[in-house]
Amino acid sequence: MMTRKPIIAGNWKMYKTVQEAKDFAAGLLESLEKLENGTNAEMVICAPFTALAALKDELEESIIHIGAQNMYYETQGAYTGEISPLMLTELACTYVIIGHSERREYFKEDDALIAKKVKTALDFGLTPILCVGENLALREAGQALVFVQGQVENALRELSPEEIRKIVVAYEPIWAIGTGRTASPQDAQEMCAAIRATLARLAAEAAQEIRILYGGSVKASNIAELMDQPDIDGALVGGASLDFLGFTELIGSV
Ligand code: PEP
Ligand 1 centroid to residue 234 C-alpha, Å:
13
| 172 counts as catalytic | yes
| SS (HEC) of 122-160 | HHCCCEEEEEECCCHHHHHCCCHHHHHHHHHHHHHCCCC
- Tell me whether residue 236 is in a domain: yes
Domain, as residue range, for 173: 7-252
- Tell me whether residue 1 is in a domain: no
Tens digits of residue pLDDT in 27-81: 999 999 999 888 999 999 999 999 999 999 999 999 999 999 999 999 999 999 9
CB of 243 within 8 A of CB of 211? no
- Tell me whether residue 60 is in a domain: yes
**Is the ipTM beyond the 0.95 threshold?**
yes
- Tell me whether residue 161 is in a domain: yes
In this structure, the dihedral spanned by the alpha carbons of residues 74, 76, 81 and 86, taken in order and rounded to 10 degrees, is 80
Give the pLDDT of residue 2. Answer: 66
User: Would the pLDDT of 155 be above 60?
Assistant: yes
Rounded-to-integer distance, Cα 56 and Cα 119, Å: 24
What residue type is 83 in one-letter code? I
52 lines ligand 1 (CB under 6 A): no
Give the pLDDT of residue 3. Answer: 87
- Tell me whether residue 20 is in a domain: yes
Tens digits of residue pLDDT in 217-246: 999 999 999 999 999 999 999 999 999 999
Which parts are annotated binding residues for substrate? Answer: 11-13, 178, 217, 238-239
- Tell me whether residue 52 is in a domain: yes
Count of C-beta atoms within a 10 Å radius of residue 124:
15
Q: For residue 152, what is the domain's CATH number? A: 3.20.20.70
- Tell me whether residue 234 is in a domain: yes
What residue type is 48 in one-letter code? P
Residues 147-160 have a mean pLDDT of: 98
User: How many structural domains are present in the chain?
Assistant: 1
- Tell me whether residue 2 is in a domain: no
Of 58, 65, 100, 109, catalytic: 100
Structure confidence at residue 1 as a pLDDT band (50, 70, 90): low
